């Protein structure tokens, strides 16, 4: 099962970086746009996503690699640098057999297994990437394909072969 979790964390990093890269090429009016049913502007959504990502990791490990992000307009390249730094650390954690069973108590008094926080990190990033794609779509911009099939293809994890005939 660690293999599946590892791929989910690798995908999370890949997809977030791919979307950050795509959005960095857009005009400021696009990055500062929002749409109904989403978290907020693309910039604010990425800031929230990265803050949460760092917070989840710190809850599980007690490690912080950066000073917490301030409440200010975030530069997408700065956010991408944080995700690049954190991605390999998530991979290490995904392979730690005890990480999921580790009991963690949050600052606000919630006690839970590490596996819940790890699953939330994957879900949370996916949810907010969808928000960003929705904002882009509302402005008539087709974002990148970020599903697991695209990740596998981009990383050489699948190959197309001729179907076998029965």
Largest alpha-carbon pair distance within the chain? 61
Name the E strands within 79-154.
103-105, 111-113
CA-to-CA distance for 131 and 39, rounded, in angstroms?
7
Burial class (CB in 10 A: 0-12, 13-18, 19+), 19: buried
Domain that holds residue 135: 2-154
Mean pLDDT of all residues in 136-151: 97
**Does 160 fall in a domain?**
no
- In the chain, the number of structural domains is 1
Residue 118 in domain: yes
Span 63-118, pLDDT tens digits? 888 777 777 778 999 999 999 999 999 999 999 989 999 999 888 889 999 999 99
- pLDDT of 67 reads 78
Does the residue 23 lie in any domain?
yes
How high is the pLDDT of residue 142? 98
Closest CA to 65 of 49, 30, 89: 89
User: What residues does 112 pair with on adjacent strands?
Assistant: 104
pLDDT at 68: 75
Nearest to 148 by CA among 27, 42, 18, 28: 18
Structure confidence at residue 13 (pLDDT): 98
CATH number at residue 14: 1.20.120.450
User: Quick one: which of 130, 159, 99, 144 has its CA closest to 35?
Assistant: 130
Cα 62–chain centre separation:
20
Q: Is 149 among the domain residues? A: yes
pLDDT band at 1 (very low <50, low <70, confident <90, very high): very low
pLDDT tens digits along 7-51: 999 999 999 999 999 999 999 999 999 999 999 999 999 999 999
* 6 falls within a domain: yes
3-state class of 128 per DSSP? helix
User: Is residue 163 in some structural domain?
Assistant: no
Q: Which of 24, 45, 41, 9 is nearest to 123 (CA)?
A: 9
Picking from 5, 16, 14, the residue whose alpha carbon sits closest to that of residue 132 is: 16
* Distance between CA atoms of residues 56 and 120, nearest Å: 8
How high is the pLDDT of residue 165?
82
> Looking at the predicted structure, is the pLDDT value of residue 144 above 70?
yes
Contacts 24+ apart (CB under 8 A), 66-74: 73/43, 74/43, 74/44, 74/46, 74/47, 74/50
């Amino acid at each position: 099962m660690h293999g599946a979790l590892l791929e989910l964390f690798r995908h999370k990093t890949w997809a977030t970086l791919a979307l950050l890269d795509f959005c960095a090429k857009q005009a400021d009016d696009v990055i500062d746009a929002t749409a109904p049913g989403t978290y907020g502007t693309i910039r604010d959504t990425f800031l929230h996503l990265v803050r949460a990502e760092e917070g989840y990791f710190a809850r599980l490990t007690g490690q912080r690699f950066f000073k917490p992000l301030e409440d200010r307009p975030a530069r997408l390249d700065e956010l991408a640098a944080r995700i690049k730094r954190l991605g390999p650390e998530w991979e290490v954690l995904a392979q730690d057999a005890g990480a999921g069973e580790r009991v963690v108590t949050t600052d606000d008094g919630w006690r839970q297994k590490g596996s819940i926080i790890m699953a939330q990190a994957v879900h949370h990033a996916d949810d907010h990437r969808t928000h960003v794609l929705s904002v882009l779509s509302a402005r008539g911009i087709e974002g990148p394909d970020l599903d697991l099939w695209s990740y596998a293809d981009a990383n050489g994890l699948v190959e197309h072969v001729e179907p076998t005939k029965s």
